[in-house]
Amino acid sequence: MGVLYSVIRFENLHELKRLCHWGPIIALGVIAICSTMAMIDSVLWYWPLHTTGGSVNFIMLINWTVMILYNYFNAMFVGPGYVPLKWKPEKAQDTTYLQFCKVCQAYKAPRSHHCRKCNRCVMKMDHHCPWINNCCGFQNHASFTLFLLLAPLGCIHAAFIFVMTMYTQLYNRISFGWNTVKIDMSAAKRDPLPIIPFGLSAFAASLFALGLAVGTTIAVGMLFFIQMKVILRNKTSIESWIEEKAKDRIQFYQTAEIFVFPYDMGSRWQNFKQVFTWSGVPEGDGLEWPIREGCHPYSLTIEQLKQKADKRVRSVRYKVIDAYSGACCPLNKGIKTFFTTPCTEEPRISLKKGELILVTRGLRHWMYGDKILDYLATEDGSRIRGWFPRKCVEKFHCDAETDQASEGEKKNR
């Protein structure tokens, strides 16, 4: 019953709407095509079920499919776990080390981040994955990583079936000029012959499925190695980026401080056990975390506060000189702007002439920043930020007093 309950969680059934997204549709489509074609090719044309090897092969194919789908749906529907609304630490003085989320009306617990897609603060957020249409975080990090491991392994098995099916079925029909090569092709001599002949449509379908399997093996396999790299250091993708920015901040201001990542236990096995457990349920509550000896419990959140203040100092104001509709690929902003649109799910923001933007990062033809809103608009925690074409704005020249204040703040840091 425990296994059944872990597969079907009734309180999460309302989240079936997550399937109505291009990510899950494509992912499940690839799984369905590769699995179905592998089973059909294996049974009909390569390894019949009445043989021992064929039966074992078929069971393995079903096993791959079940395990892949189990971990995929677990990652999607169990979710990452969210910081409770209006959460705050037990000790009031600890709030000085934490950021406050105006949307959730709660303090951001250590290792948590607010996801604009989920509109909640996610515990130990790694990233928002479009393929599961959900965040990868505290509760589903293990299931998501296992999916990244099992999908390439299943695709490698399926790719082997596709290659051998096409090879054995075409061996006696097409001369490859390999007369000197001696290969035992007894598996190609089916007795009795297959009920359905291996025709052009079957070949095309097998070749298409082979392409999907190889592409999935390469792409998802790379993602698995990236995930394992950060897991063995007990980090997330976001925390790796925070650590890089900490080094950049220290180097920019030439301070004597040293930033030490507090959650690395110093052992890969200990870090591994922070994510993977025999029960499948991660240890802890996702709000408090064990730290390495000598580190402050809030050293990471303190660094985030420093980076946030530094971001305000180093960001640049721009003024809108040309209106922009917010289109993903605008046709009226030039060919280079059209073809260099950022490949990200981050939003584009519409611009009106005269508005001010606080730019935090940019590309050659695009920029990313926050609209500078009036006081009443920012009271509810709403922020308007996203990408826009660079040619729609120009640098806004502040008065001398503002420039001097910015320089003074920068030197004081």
Q: What is the pLDDT of residues 31-44, one digit of tens each?
A: 999 999 999 999 88
In this structure, is residue 336 part of a structural domain?
Answer: yes
Residues 103 and 159 sit within 8 Å (Cβ to Cβ): no
pLDDT over threshold 60, residue 409:
no
- Residues 201, 338 within the same domain: no
In this structure, is residue 254 part of a structural domain?
Answer: no
In this structure, is residue 267 part of a structural domain?
Answer: no
Cα 316 from chain centroid (whole Å): 29
pLDDT over threshold 60, residue 378:
no
- Residues 162, 28 within the same domain: yes
Arithmetic mean of pLDDT over the chain: 85
- Residues 187, 323 within the same domain: no
pLDDT over threshold 90, residue 402:
no
Mean pLDDT of 135-143: 95
Q: Which of 231, 262, 287 is the last residue of a domain?
A: 231
Phi, psi (rounded to 5 degrees) for 270? -65, -40
CATH code: domain of residue 392: 2.30.30.40
pLDDT at residue 382, rounded to an integer: 66
In this structure, is residue 223 part of a structural domain?
Answer: yes
pTM confidence score: 0.81
Respond yes or no: is residue 115 known to be catalytic: no
Rg (CA), the chain: 27
pLDDT at residue 40, rounded to an integer: 93
Q: Which of 180, 196, 231 is the last residue of a domain?
A: 231
Residues 280 and 6 sit within 8 Å (Cβ to Cβ): yes
- Residues 322, 227 within the same domain: no
> Band of the pLDDT at 384, cuts 50, 70, 90?
confident
- Classify residue 80 by its DSSP letter: S
Residues 83 and 123 sit within 8 Å (Cβ to Cβ): yes
> Given CA atoms 330, 333, 339, 341 in this order, what sign does their dihedral have?
negative
Tens of pLDDT, residue by residue over 211-255, are 999 999 999 999 999 999 999 999 999 999 899 989 988 988 888
pLDDT over threshold 90, residue 268:
yes
What's the token pair of residue 51?
A: 């043989």
Q: Which of 231, 249, 274 is the last residue of a domain?
A: 231
- Classify residue 140 by its DSSP letter: T
Q: Which of the residues 121, 129, 135, 392 is marked catalytic?
A: 129
What's the token pair of residue 384?
A: 């308007």
Within 10 angstroms of residue 156's Cβ, the number of other Cβ atoms is: 15
Beta bridge partners of 388: 367
pLDDT over threshold 80, residue 399:
no
- Residues 165, 70 within the same domain: yes
Looking at the chain, the whole-number percentage of residues with pLDDT higher than 90 is 56
Residues 292 and 265 sit within 8 Å (Cβ to Cβ): yes
- Classify residue 47 by its DSSP letter: S
In total, how many domains does the chain have?
2
- Classify residue 76 by its DSSP letter: I
What's the token pair of residue 395?
A: 């640098």
What's the chain's length in residues?
A: 413
- Residues 190, 325 within the same domain: no
Residues 75 and 147 sit within 8 Å (Cβ to Cβ): yes
pLDDT at residue 88, rounded to an integer: 94
Residues 183 and 172 sit within 8 Å (Cβ to Cβ): no
- For residue 172, CA distances in Å to 189, 201, 256, 324, 411 come to 10, 18, 73, 62, 79
Q: In this predicted structure, which of 12-26, 234-248, 271-285, 367-381 has the lowest mean pLDDT?
A: 367-381
**At which residue do the structure tokens 């249409």 appear?**
133
Tens of pLDDT, residue by residue over 72-118, are 999 999 989 999 999 999 999 999 999 999 899 999 999 999 998 89
Q: HSE-up of 360 (CA within 13 Å, CB side)?
A: 14
CA proximity to 287, closest of 143, 139, 141: 139
Rounded distance between C-alpha atoms, residue 51 and residue 54, angstroms: 5
pLDDT at residue 385, rounded to an integer: 87
Q: Which residues form the domain of 33?
A: 2-80+140-231
Phi, psi (rounded to 5 degrees) for 356? -110, 140
In this structure, is residue 274 part of a structural domain?
Answer: no
In this structure, is residue 105 part of a structural domain?
Answer: no
Rounded distance between C-alpha atoms, residue 261 and residue 265, angstroms: 10
In this structure, is residue 278 part of a structural domain?
Answer: no
- Classify residue 115 by its DSSP letter: E
What's the token pair of residue 135?
A: 């965040």
- Residues 157, 57 within the same domain: yes
pLDDT at residue 329, rounded to an integer: 86
pLDDT at residue 44, rounded to an integer: 87
Beta bridge partners of 127: 136
Tens of pLDDT, residue by residue over 159-216, are 999 999 988 887 655 544 555 544 444 444 555 566 777 888 999 999 999 999 999 9
- Residues 57, 157 within the same domain: yes
- Residues 57, 152 within the same domain: yes
- For residue 372, CA distances in Å to 18, 351, 375, 410 come to 33, 12, 9, 21
In this structure, is residue 26 part of a structural domain?
Answer: yes
